[in-house]
Amino acid sequence: MMKEFYDLADFSVEQVEALISLATRLQHQPEPQALAGKVLSLLFLSPSLRTLASFQAAMVRLGGGSFVISPEMSIHGIESRAGIVMDGAAAEHISEAVPVIASYGDAMGIRAFAEGRSLDNDLADFEYNKLRQLVTTPLINMESAIGHPCQSLADWKTLDEIGVPKQDGRFVLSWAYHPRALPLAVPAATLQMAAMRGMDVTVLRPEGFELPPSIMDRAAQAAAASGGSVRETDDRGEALAGAHVIYAKSWSSTRHYGDKIADGDLRREFDDWCVDDPWFETTAEDCRFMHCLPVRRGVVVSDRVLDGPRSVVIQEAQNRMYAQMAVLHAMLGNGGL
Amino acid sequence: MMKEFYDLADFSVEQVEALISLATRLQHQPEPQALAGKVLSLLFLSPSLRTLASFQAAMVRLGGGSFVISPEMSIHGIESRAGIVMDGAAAEHISEAVPVIASYGDAMGIRAFAEGRSLDNDLADFEYNKLRQLVTTPLINMESAIGHPCQSLADWKTLDEIGVPKQDGRFVLSWAYHPRALPLAVPAATLQMAAMRGMDVTVLRPEGFELPPSIMDRAAQAAAASGGSVRETDDRGEALAGAHVIYAKSWSSTRHYGDKIADGDLRREFDDWCVDDPWFETTAEDCRFMHCLPVRRGVVVSDRVLDGPRSVVIQEAQNRMYAQMAVLHAMLGNGGL
Amino acid sequence: MMKEFYDLADFSVEQVEALISLATRLQHQPEPQALAGKVLSLLFLSPSLRTLASFQAAMVRLGGGSFVISPEMSIHGIESRAGIVMDGAAAEHISEAVPVIASYGDAMGIRAFAEGRSLDNDLADFEYNKLRQLVTTPLINMESAIGHPCQSLADWKTLDEIGVPKQDGRFVLSWAYHPRALPLAVPAATLQMAAMRGMDVTVLRPEGFELPPSIMDRAAQAAAASGGSVRETDDRGEALAGAHVIYAKSWSSTRHYGDKIADGDLRREFDDWCVDDPWFETTAEDCRFMHCLPVRRGVVVSDRVLDGPRSVVIQEAQNRMYAQMAVLHAMLGNGGL
């Protein structure tokens, strides 16, 4: 039985492919009694739409159920600092709240976004790990500071479905403009997924938005093991030539991480990084557009690309549910993985 | 299988009666496995109490489940305008959010109230239809600008239960005072329901609150087909004589639609339109009081009428769940309608 | 079948023990079909974390489901005063809302905290009883002004599990400091539970925080019937000598009930009532620490006690789910109690 689904890098390529097979099987052959009487506790410390909906739906489809806890539900306010005298607004500490919530479920999902202040803290997934050590049930990372494995599993399944080759598949993870400094979770997870899948992966981003060396190194090792490659460039022409996929996502400047003013000044120089038709001039003819959603139209990607035949963003989001059903089945079902 | 439950007028009288038979059967003979593993996605763009609760309960009673999305759950903010550059607060567009949410369910319910600005837009159910075209699963109208078919189905079932005759049943849909300009959805739906049921229907309202001609004409045709009749009057005495039912509801002035000041000035002249004992002086002796809830006590109806034996408002609300179970069963069950 | 779970005092010791046996059986032998198709309606008029999560989880584990209504969900605003003309903000009255919500479920849970203004009103559970009379389905008190029977049932089960003796068990219910004036529900319920269980119960509290005579008298009668005893003191040394359990909880000054300023002035004198290691110097060696949660660290109890081996607060909270499963099973299952 799977005990934790924290990061795709914790699994072998064979294990990931087994999960995707299971996801596809559950998509086509429902098992409405598989998790009868089983409970998933869902703890959202950051907002959610797709994840909130798809995990609840996944449990119902497998015959179980779930409950949702989000901070705005509790008047108490929840304290997370250690050793504090709680004479202020917060009436409850995570040391009590999290183990209790976890204990009501057979498995738990946690979403805790990056704080966006210290790159080291966020790369170490400081907030998520503070919660993780309070939980003894099987645990699913529903997006942390540096990981989003459910999205990656769904994206891998989508890549299989649209026929992007593993060997010699050209996958471009491109930074895009966005008015706010966003976390590194999706780019880091997507890079690792694409590398594990054996594709030739290019990270296309302006100077100042390099992915952290630890993230790049880890992906390079995964690529080497799978027969793929990883590189990083700010040269759009070089990056896009022959691409099978443009996966767009905005993220924070790593040069100015935690400094919103400097990040903003730098990113505004690149507000023309909006994926549009000209980006596809030298790609493979059937090059697809991917994004994890939510996406800002006219900012990250043009309407015509997003509404056109290249876009598979809805399919990616739909696959979230099937991917998560597979994870839940592997954690709580009779068959294991 | 039913693909859409948008408006009672889309169904024949026989189909409506079959749905009511199914509702009554499910009320008395539970089928706790009928929709095992099935998911209903519930999208509320307007607030709800009865609908929120009764749809969730309905799915559990049939062995399935549901999830709820309402705008306040998403930090992102959801944009609905076409062709916009999303560089403001909204981080997500309905073009992505709605198909994704829909895809997690086997059927979807949408609530989207009238904007209350343009009568033409609201009669055309502009907002609902914008969402509807984004959904490919079976879809249920949980109240739109101009329709509320779940309420109508529940009301029809209630009329059957309390023995209001179809032929020669005298049904009065009466405007009532309310401090705010409310949508036309319930009066339009109720009129159509009563006409389809074959009753003699009188719309009682002050001048300036006439129902739109398109609504009246549609109801008149349904009445003709069912052996009933439809008329409109501001003469309370004429309207109420011999009535079997007074169905109260407030709605906007159609003369001043979208003009809150002019509407307010006009409606305040009729703040004595509160259904009370004297309204029943010339009705049938056992004339009943109906309302879709929520209802303002002492404003729309007196306490003594609402708390007295004429009132069937709780029964109407209870029938919401059974009516919706029938719709869900007809959409997602093995038997179809 | 159980029709109401309002107060532990409504049940015999044998009935309580049967519920605990059932809770333990369901903990170890799941019955994921026991309540198939059954619905629990959950009405929270006060905020909740453990209760919200554990009731939803309990229903899923028994094969049914639930829905949650809390006031912030309804735009309408809900009026509870009788005989009022509703021309203000509230668009709905509890006389309609509560029976309807209740009717969608096979059983209902209601949480309605103390108003904290009139001790007589709160002792009479005024708000809860106003709602109770509107409900005809089986009803569970999820914490009212003066009762919290689900917590008490979970605590009794916990006491059994940790081996606190019934006869000659020394149970100390101790007031603790907290910056706010909190309700009497948990102390009243805990005292009654401990007395019914046959233990020797000491209420330790400063002058001005005496529990109301009616609460003390009722407990004394229960203790007499079970072979235990009840006393009240402000002498910590006397209270703690030989104790098997220190159950900490803060509550309002009963001398200044409803007077927040006078209550605050008095309670601040006792801000050193924080359970810490020295409290256990004369207790039984393996004396345990209990609390219903949420608890303020460094205020009500020290970190070292709460994080140490004496604390069973997580176990108490976990037992909430099993206790509630037993209540639901006794209300809605085939076997009854």
Q: At residue B204, does pLDDT exceed 70?
A: yes
3-state secondary structure of B19: helix
For strands A139-141 and A4-5, give the pairing: parallel
| Cβ partners under 8 Å of residue B49, min gap 6 | B294, C69, C73, C74, C76, C92, C97, C100, C101
Q: At residue C337, does pLDDT exceed 70?
A: no
Q: Does C225 touch chain B (CB under 8 A)?
A: no
The domain B163-311 having CATH identifier 3.40.50.1370: the answer here is yes
Q: What tokens appear for A137 in the block? A: 């049930």
Q: At residue B75, does pLDDT exceed 70?
A: no
| Cβ partners under 8 Å of residue B236, min gap 6 | B204, B279
Mean pLDDT throughout B172-194?
98
What is the pLDDT at residue A48? 87
- Site of tokens 């829909």: B102
Touching chains, A (3+ CB pairs < 8 A):
B, C
* pLDDT tier, C335 (very low <50, low <70, confident <90, very high otherwise): low
pLDDT in tens, A89-113: 888 999 999 999 999 999 999 999 8
Q: Does A196 touch chain B (CB under 8 A)?
A: no
- What span, in angstroms and rounded, lies between the C-alpha atoms of C202 and C228? 11
Contact (CB, 8 A) for C61 and A40: no
What's the gap in Å between the CA of C173 and the closest CA on chain B? 39
pLDDT in tens, A271-305: 999 999 999 999 999 999 999 999 999 999 999 99
CB < 8 Å to A316, chain B: none
Which residue from A67, A69, A100 is facing C314, i.e. has the nearest CB? A100
Q: What tokens appear for A293 in the block? A: 């959603």
Percent of chain B with pLDDT over 90: 91
| Cβ partners under 8 Å of residue A4, min gap 6 | A10, A138, A139, A140
Mean pLDDT throughout A62-71?
93
* pLDDT tier, A78 (very low <50, low <70, confident <90, very high otherwise): confident
DSSP letter for C171, please. E
Q: Does B96 touch chain A (CB under 8 A)?
A: yes
- What span, in angstroms and rounded, lies between the C-alpha atoms of C190 and C249? 10
pTM value surpassing 0.95: yes
Question: Whole-number mean pLDDT of chain A?
Answer: 96
* pLDDT tier, C222 (very low <50, low <70, confident <90, very high otherwise): very high
Which CATH superfamily groups domain B4-147+320-332? Answer: Aspartate/ornithine carbamoyltransferase (3.40.50.1370)
CA dihedral A53, A55, A59, A62 (to 10 degrees): 100
CB < 8 Å to B51, chain C: none
What's the gap in Å between the CA of C155 and the closest CA on chain A? 15
Chain A, 53 to 72: residues with Cβ < 8 Å from chain C are: 64-67, 69
CB < 8 Å to B56, chain C: 65, 67
Mean pLDDT throughout C26-49?
95
Contact (CB, 8 A) for A114 and A122: yes
pLDDT in tens, B255-285: 999 999 999 999 999 999 999 999 999 999 9
Q: What tokens appear for A197 in the block? A: 């899948």
Which residue from B53, B60, B293 is facing C64, i.e. has the nearest CB? B60
Q: What is the DSSP string of A89-103?
A: S--EEHHHHHHHHHH
Does A87 contact C297 at a Cβ distance shorter than 8 Å? no
What is the pLDDT at residue B74? 54
Q: Does B261 touch chain A (CB under 8 A)?
A: no
Mean pLDDT throughout B161-171?
98
- Over its C-alpha atoms, chain A yields an Rg (Å, rounded) of 20
- What span, in angstroms and rounded, lies between the C-alpha atoms of C309 and C271? 25
Q: What tokens appear for B164 in the block? A: 């209001």
Q: Does C73 touch chain B (CB under 8 A)?
A: yes
What is the pLDDT at residue C73? 66
Q: Indicate the helix (H) or strand (E) that contains B247.
A: strand B245-249
Q: What tokens appear for A30 in the block? A: 């429902």
CB < 8 Å to B314, chain C: 96, 99-100, 103
What's the gap in Å between the CA of C143 and the closest CA on chain A? 16
Chain A, 290 to 309: residues with Cβ < 8 Å from chain B are: 293-299, 303, 306-307
* pLDDT tier, B249 (very low <50, low <70, confident <90, very high otherwise): very high
C4-147+317-332 topology per CATH:
Rossmann fold (3.40.50)
- What span, in angstroms and rounded, lies between the C-alpha atoms of C67 and A90? 27
Q: What angle do CA B38, B337, B333 make, to 5 degrees?
A: 20
- What span, in angstroms and rounded, lies between the C-alpha atoms of B256 and C265? 58
- What span, in angstroms and rounded, lies between the C-alpha atoms of C176 and C294? 13
A–C CB contacts, 8 A cutoff, strictly below = 102
- Domain ranges within chain C, ordered by starting residue: 4-147+317-332, 163-311
What is the pLDDT at residue C78? 85
Does C49 contact A97 at a Cβ distance shorter than 8 Å? yes
What's the gap in Å between the CA of B174 and the closest CA on chain C? 19
DSSP letter for C273, please. -
Q: Tell me the sheet residues that pair with B200.
A: B170, B229
* pLDDT tier, C89 (very low <50, low <70, confident <90, very high otherwise): confident
- Nearest C-alpha in C relative to B180: C87
Q: At residue A46, does pLDDT exceed 90?
A: no
pLDDT in tens, C125-181: 999 999 999 999 999 999 999 999 999 999 999 999 999 999 999 999 999 999 999
Does A297 contact B85 at a Cβ distance shorter than 8 Å? yes
- What span, in angstroms and rounded, lies between the C-alpha atoms of C217 and C222? 9
Q: At residue C15, does pLDDT exceed 70?
A: yes
